[in-house]
Amino acid sequence: MLSRRRRKRTPATPPGGLTPLDAAVTPTAYGAVVTLAGELDIATVPRVREAIAAPAVAAASAVLVDLTGVTFMDSTGLAVLLGLERDLSARRGRLAVVCPEGPARLLLDVTGVAERLELHPTRAAAEDALSSPRAAP
């Protein structure tokens, strides 16, 4: 009987060794900015979770998530955004999402999540909204 050895699969690395998602956190006067660029999916969501667990985000009363550079997003990306929104709401914080027309916006619209989140077409619009007092509900 012939035995076969299975080779371990290694994840494909994009040309140039670049990672498929970049996540950066920047503290601001109003809270924190989380800038995402690349593919936001099940393989890269741990990087996003790590970014939103950063002290600058955890202590912020307002968080801006910039999805302008996101080229693909799946349901795990939606789950992270909704989890962040839930956590901020629980501590009376605020989430603004920069999401112009594109793949991420399409997913937010199709799933109905766009109506739940505070979306802005540009970073300037989101920063203006976060810098001004929120209207009472």
Q: What is the mean pLDDT of residues 29-47?
A: 96
Residues 82 and 78: their CA atoms lie apart, in Å, by 6
> 92-135, pLDDT tens digit by residue?
999 999 999 999 999 999 999 999 999 999 999 999 999 887 64
Bridge partners (DSSP) of residue 67 are: none
Q: Would 136 be classed as within a structural domain? A: no
**In CATH, what number is assigned to the domain containing residue 45?**
3.30.750.24
pLDDT at 5: 53
Burial degree of 129 (CB within 10 A; 0-12, 13-18, 19+): middle
Q: Would 14 be classed as within a structural domain? A: no
Q: Would 10 be classed as within a structural domain? A: no
Q: Would 13 be classed as within a structural domain? A: no
Q: Which two three-digit tokens encode residue 115? A: 């109506």
Q: Would 2 be classed as within a structural domain? A: no
Residue span of the structural domain in which 113 resides: 19-130
Q: Would 37 be classed as within a structural domain? A: yes
- Which ranges of 3-131 does DSSP label H, i.e. alpha helix? 45-52, 55-58, 75-90, 103-111, 123-131
**Residue 28 predicted with pLDDT over 70:** yes
Q: Would 36 be classed as within a structural domain? A: yes
CA distances from 104 to 11, 39, 59, 123, 135 (A): 24, 10, 26, 15, 27
Domain count for the chain, please give it: 1
